[in-house]
Amino acid sequence: MKRISTVLAAIGICLGLQAQNVSDALRFSVNDYFGTARSIAMGNAFTALGGDIGSITINPAGSAVNNYSQISFSPALNIMGGKTEYSADGYVGNGNPTRTSSYAKASGQIPSWGAVMNFDTHRKRGLKSFSFGVVGNATASYGNDLLAEGYNPNSSYMGYLAALSSIDGLSEATLDKGSYWDINPYYWPAVVGYRSGMISSSGNGDYVGVAQGIASDGSYPVLGELRQKYGKLTTGSKSDIVFNFGMNFNNRLYIGANLGITDLSYSSRMQISESAVNVTDFPVTVDGQTDYFKSMRMREYYRASGSGLYGKFGIIYKPVGGLRLGASVQTPTVNYITEHLWYSGETDFDNAYGYEDISEKDEYIYDYRLVSPMRADIGVAYTFGKAGLVSVDYELCNYSSMRFKEIGSSDNGGFDNSNRSIEDGAGVSHMLRIGAEMNVLPALALRFGYNLTSTPERYINDSGAKVSPGTFTQSIACGVGYRSPRSFFCDLALRSRIDPVEYIYPYPSYDAGTRFVLSPEIVNRASLASIVMTFGWRF
């Protein structure tokens, strides 16, 4: 192994056709509707209501409901936080020792903006008015700063890299190649680990991590206790920008259409680090001399940006009195996405002197298409005159129809494995949205909302059946709205979203010689709190 004091290896990774998976597809396809403060406070249950700029993304017919034009914008503060539990034994609970960490990240956003112009035809029957609008509403927020840590005497990320290199028979010449493009991208973390001193040859044809020893039974045990840290910082958002047209027939039937453009950006920096609790437990021979492993750090950098195109059509009907019925259908969205991915690694030893190995950074850019699924909404609402209203929506979306595709080619064979993983790992998601508004004063309204969304994720059980884990995302919201006697209005909304429990494995379980070693398990319980204000004018 090369003598290394502090080593940095940074390389660009071609995402390749193997990299896209069901998690990527769901990240860019699942909607978490934001909107204006009014629509958020009422759980975005606006399929049968309309009349609000936040509703137009859900049902295009909503722009034609009001007989006035309007403009609004909505700044917001999002606070993503949660708690993690770390277990070195591979399972949180069951009496295993765990370590708990908390995290939080705040980010600003403009979840809704837009203008709708209403034109009166001055007809007594038929087409009473029509509307044009340009609206932007956020459908996802990716800001987070997850952290988990604990003590592990059983396994090591460096041990996983060594096992990956050993099992697949990678030679030192392969790992030390001058050009990364000659190596399957799947192995590039092992390349980084080798070049930055995390792994080296064991002398018997295998590789061993610098925190491992070689036992007489042929196993490679971790020599002492490691302090492990896992963190993932994410930023970005997804928004729908729609060009809307709506028509009002006899103040009873409203029809609308959207040409929607999806704008998305996402970036993440994953980091796993390991440090020796007692450096004397980790001797290593370097250039014929004994040194001691001190710490390592591996980083994965990823970012994606893209845009998509879809159409949406909707209808709202008032059959009698205060009853309103609504429905909308959205076509599949064709997204064009560009991704970047690269790694960096560094290893520290106890002695400060030595060689430093730095590799060049070559960033590879990969483009592809993602076809997100169609979705359908139905809604029913009832208005109690000027006293208030209640509304209920249901949305259906089959995420197993998502597909990765090549750009500029009809040959999508390279995505066969990724698309099969979508068929096995995704399914139908159901979303229930409930909202209510109560006018306590002519100029003041109180609002409440609730959402329940079933997970689109699926797994194959022991009998080979595709089943749902039965988890849900829930959110509750409330708000207040003010309407001036003239044109100005201002709304405030508070929303809290609770995500399903997430299980994270920082690296796969692996064979350490003659022993099989479990990866640590991290249980993540996350929630998102949002504060949204809307300022608008009617004219």
Instruction: Report d(CA 434, CA 449) in Å as an integer.
Output: 6
Tell me how far apart the alpha carbons of residues 97 and 153 are, in angstroms, rounded to a whole number: 12
Mean pLDDT of 372-383: 98
- Please tell me the distance from the alpha carbon of residue 197 to that of residue 356, in angstroms, as a whole number: 10
Residue 108 has pLDDT above 90, yes or no: yes
HEC per residue, 110-177: EEEEEEEEEEECCCCCCEEEEEEEEEEEEEEECCEEEEEEEEECCCCHHHHHHHHHHHCCCCHHHHCC
Q: pLDDT tier at 365 (50, 70, 90 boundaries)?
A: confident
Q: Helices H, strands E: what count in the chain?
A: 7, 28
Q: Using a pLDDT cut of 90, give the percent of the chain over it.
A: 77
Q: Checking phi first, is residue 467 left (phi over 0); if not, alpha (psi -120 to 50) or beta? A: beta
Mean pLDDT of 452-456: 97
Q: What does residue 177 show for φ and ψ, rounded to 5 degrees?
A: -60, 145
Burial classification of residue 214, based on how many CB atoms lie within 10 Å of its CB (0-12 exposed, 13-18 middle, 19 or more buried)? middle
Range from 128-142, 168-182, 283-297 that averages highest in pLDDT: 128-142
On the question of pLDDT at 32 being above 90, the answer is: yes
Does 428 score more than 50 pLDDT? yes
pLDDT value at residue 95: 64
With contact defined as beta carbons under 8 Å apart, do 292 and 350 qualify?
yes
| Mean pLDDT of all residues in 426-450 | 97
- ∠ CA 311-432-458, rounded to 5°: 80
Query: From the CB of residue 97, how many other CB atoms can be counted at a distance below 10 Å?
Result: 11
pLDDT at 362: 53
Gap between the Cα atoms of 161 and 189, Å rounded: 7
Torsion angle (degrees, nearest 10) of CA 51, 55, 59, 64 = 20
How far from chain centre, in Å, is Cα 87?
24
**pLDDT tens by residue, 162-218:** 999 998 888 888 888 766 666 777 788 888 889 888 999 887 889 999 999 999 998
The structure's pTM equals: 0.91
The pLDDT of residue 121:
97
Mean pLDDT of the residues in the chain: 90
Q: Which of 390, 476, 473 is nearest to 435 (CA)?
A: 390
Q: How confident is the model at residue 15 (pLDDT cuts 50, 70, 90)?
A: very low
Average the pLDDT over 313-323 and give the result. Answer: 97
Q: Which pair of structure tokens corresponds to residue 203?
A: 């002398």
Q: In angstroms, rounded to a whole number, what is the distance separating the alpha carbons of residues 271 and 30?
A: 25
Is the pLDDT score of 361 beyond 80? no
CA-CA distance, 239 to 59, in Å (whole number)? 16
Q: What span, in angstroms and rounded, lies between the C-alpha atoms of 103 and 80?
A: 8
Residue 250 pLDDT > 60, yes or no? yes
Most confident segment among 144-153, 166-175, 286-295 = 144-153
The answer to whether residue 17 scores a pLDDT higher than 80 is no
Residue 414 has pLDDT above 50, yes or no: yes
Per-residue pLDDT at 6: 30
What integer pLDDT is reported at residue 169 of this predicted model? 86
**Torsions phi, psi for 251 (to 5 deg):** 55, 30
